[in-house]
Each structure stands twice: as C-alpha cells, then as structure tokens.
Amino acid sequence: MKARIHLLLGSLSAALVAFALTSPRVVAADKVDPVTDAKAFQNFFFQKFPNVKHEDFVNGPYSMNEDMKRQWQEKEEFPPYEFALDAGKEMFATPFKNGKTYADCFPNGGIGIRQNYPYFDEKEGKVVTLELALNRCREANGEAPYSYVKDEMASLTAYMAYTSRGKPMDIKIPDDPRALAAFENGKRYFYTRRGQMNFSCASCHVQSPGERIRAEILAPALGILNAMPIYRSEWSGMGTISRRFVTCNSQTRAVPLEPQADEYRDVEYFLSYVANGLPISGPGARP
C-alpha cells in the first residue's frame, strides 16, 4: 500500500515536470490585459492548425478530424437536439403563472442575444451567465428554478442559442477592476491542474486538441463554448455548459463545484471572451 502512494507521487511529479517542459515558453505577466490575451489565444490555435478555417473552430472535434466530421454531418441532417429545440421554443412561449414570459426578462425578447452572454453585472460585481439569468427570470416570476444540468435548462438555452446562430461571439469586459479580476480568475481556473489525474482544462484542450482520448477526439479550447448546449451521444441527452464543466471535473477525479459556482462563471467568461468574433453554432451535436 505504501508503494502505491509513492507510485502516485512519482507519476504526479513526473507529470508536473513533463507538461511544464513541453508547454509554450511563457513569462509571468502582472497587469490583466484581456485584449492581448485573446489575440494570443486565437493566434496560438490559428498557427497550430493553419488549415482549419477560423470559424470552423467552433465545431470542436469535427474541425480536427475528417472521419468524425462526416459522422457529424450525417447527424446534422436530422440532429438529435431537434426535440430539445422544439421543447425550448414551446417553453419560451408558454407564460408563467403570473402571465409573464421569458421574453419579458431579456433584451430583444431573448431572441438573438445568446452571443452577449455571459456578461459582467456591475451592480452585482459578478459574471452572469445565460443559465443563471434564465433561472433568475423564473424566480423573479414566482417559478421554481430549473436544475442547471438537466433537460429543461438545456432546452431553453438551445432555443436561445439557435436564435443567435451565426452571430459572432460578442463578450464585453467593462473597465471595472472586478471584471478584470473575474476574467483573470477564469483564466487561472482554465490553466490550473486539478484532480488525481493532475489535468487542467488546458492539458487536453490546449496541449492536445485533435488527438484521441480513447475514442474521442479532443476539441480545441478556442470556440469550445460556441456550440453549447450540446446533445452528447455519450449522455444520449442534452448537456448545458454547467453539466459539461461538472463532468469534465469528475473525469480528472476532481470533486466538482456546485453548478454556477463563481469559478465556473469566470472560466465561462474567459473562454467566451477569447472566442469573440467566432460564430455561435449552438445547439450542437457531439460524440
């Protein structure tokens, strides 16, 4: 039993060293500069995959592998998220008990606005995601909030994403130190290793997109949230951004935080901001 622990430690420190050596040369920066970060982030992927069209990055694994792309196009002919989309449309139009609807909570009636989420709420001083805003709208109208990882939330966000399809991601960072801090916190979360596997989001989605992890092809981090929410064949059901974060954590054997925890809201803020300009392609179908 003691030998096993040393084995664990050996692999842990070896992994730490191995990844540190192969990662891109870096120098610590102090001032938070989202604009430069976003440019560097996008250029990293554009140079690493020169023949992938910029807007194709939002197709995740399918931008990385032809055989997978063909299976995807086959699915997209009559996509499995069709039911969630219709359910979301119906829910969006059904008034709450008090007669109001989601349209009353959102600018432009909630149509074609998904590309502006998440946004930084200066009153609250925190990032507000689309899923959070939907539940707050429900609670403001006397309805019970939906689970962040279940189908109802996925159907609503699927419909809202659908109404924004093709529009470029357009996340704003106001000149507010708390917003810059949220961006930085999200970036830190993205690069921090966790779980017994000792992986960070970057270990898979920056170090080795396009490569296989068993049967799956890893998606590039650039534009990885543009297709959300996604119907995953693995779950044979819809998955919101919250569900994806929670399951990714447990895969690396890290205990997940509660959905819409600050860290998750900030990492969604970071990932969406660096994908500014790339089109919204949700809802998506994924392996």
Partner 1 sequence: MASSIRVRATANGDITEVQALIQHPMDTGLVKDSKGEVIPAHFIQQLKFECNGKDVFVADWGTAVSKDPYVKFSFKGAKKGDELKISWTDNKGGSDTTTAKIA
Partner 2 sequence: MTTTTGPHPTRRLILQGAASVALLGLGNLPFGAMSALAAANDKYPDEAFKLKNEADAIKALYGKAAEPSDKVKLDAPEIAENGGVVPISVTTTLDKVASISFFVAENPFALAASYRIPDGTIPSVANRLKMAKTTNVTAIVEADGKLYSATKEVKVTVGGCGG
Partner 3 sequence: MKRSLALAILLASSLAPSARAANEADYKAAYAAAEAASKEAAGMRNQWTVTVSALAAAKRAADGGDFDRATAAAKEAEALAKASIFQATSEKEAWKAMEIR
Which chain residues interact with partner 3 by CB under 8 A?
1-2, 4-6, 8-9, 12-13, 16-17, 19-20, 23-29, 37, 40-41, 44, 187-188, 191-196, 198, 200, 202-203, 206-207, 250, 253-255, 257, 263
Look-up of token digits 């935080």? 257
Query: What do you get for the CA distance between the two ends of the chain, in Å?
Result: 38
Q: Based on the residue annotation, tell me whether 248 is a catalytic residue of this protein.
A: yes
Q: Which does 93 bind (CB under 5 to 8 A by kind): partner 1, partner 3, partner 2, none?
A: none
Distance CA 31, CA 183 (A): 12
Closest to partner 1 by CB, 44 vs 83, is 83
Cβ atoms < 10 Å from Cβ of 20: 8
Q: Which does 91 bind (CB under 5 to 8 A by kind): partner 3, partner 1, partner 2, none?
A: none
Dihedrals phi, psi of 16, to nearest 5 degrees: -55, -50
Of 137, 201, 204, 248, the catalytic one is 248
Selected from 33, 71, 168, 262, the binder of partner 2 by CB under 8 A is 71
Give, in order, the Cα–Cα distances in Å from 217 to each of 1, 70, 279.
Answer: 35, 14, 21
- Least gap, CB of 184 to partner 1 (angstroms): 38
Q: Is 152:91 a contact under the CB 8 Å cutoff? A: yes
Instruction: Return the range that interacts with partner 1 (CB under 8 A); candidates 80-88, 133-141, 258-266, 277-285.
Output: 80-88
Distance CA 5, CA 276 (A): 44
Dihedrals phi, psi of 54, to nearest 5 degrees: -55, -45
| Lookup: tokens for 250 | 């447990």
Distance CA 229, CA 245 (A): 12
Site for partner 2 in 9-68 (CB under 8 A): 61, 67-68
Distance CA 128, CA 269 (A): 9
Closest to partner 1 by CB, 82 vs 211, is 82
Selected from 83, 91, 141, 252, the binder of partner 1 by CB under 8 A is 83
Closest to partner 2 by CB, 168 vs 195, is 195
Amino acid at position 242, single letter: S
SS3 category, 79: coil
Does 77 engage in binding with partner 1 (CB under 8 A)? yes
Q: Is 241:131 a contact under the CB 8 Å cutoff? A: yes
- Least gap, CB of 72 to partner 1 (angstroms): 14
Does 82 engage in binding with partner 1 (CB under 8 A)? yes
Over the window 195 to 234, marking each residue x when it contacts partner 2 by CB under 8 A and - when it does not, the resulting string is xxx-x----x--------xxxx----------------xx
> Residues interacting with partner 1, by CB under 8 A?
77-78, 80, 82-83, 86, 90, 236
List the catalytic residues. 248
